[in-house]
Amino acid sequence: MRLPVAILVSVVLAACVSQDRPATCDEPTATLEVTLTAEGLSPKAPAVCRDQEVTLVVDSSVDGTLHIHGYDEDVPATGVTAGEELRLEFTATRSGQFPIELHPDEDPRGVDVGVFTVYEP
């Protein structure tokens, strides 16, 4: 039996965001603390599970604008200020991997600083 390519790709992609899911997936909320520098995000790949209420706490050492591609409607581009903490609160409604991009004030071109991963529950 041959599976249509679209079904096969869907199964493979679903497996990619189901394996190695965070231990907190069974919790209704997830709080992630990250540090943002001009060089990147630490940890580089914050992760939650779909349908969790997410609080992303960003401790920034750089001024600029931060956003998560694919979550632009839920988490609009937001300014970050060096030395200040930013709290982004939203629901993880879509599974997959979403680039996190910084637009530093001194160089407004976007720089990928990490990847936000949303696993299937």
Which two tokens mark 47? Answer: 């992760």
Distance of alpha carbon 99 from alpha carbon 106, whole angstroms: 21
pLDDT tens digits, residue range 47-87? 999 999 999 999 999 999 999 999 999 999 999 999 999 99
- 6: three-class secondary structure by DSSP: helix
Distance of alpha carbon 61 from alpha carbon 17, whole angstroms: 31
pLDDT tens digits, residue range 92-106? 999 999 999 999 988
Query: b or e along 55-81 (b: 16 or more beta carbons within 10 Å of the residue's beta carbon)?
Result: ebebbbebbbbbbbeebeeebeeeebe
Q: Domain coordinates of the chain in residue numbers?
A: 5-119
CATH for 5-119 is 2.60.40.420
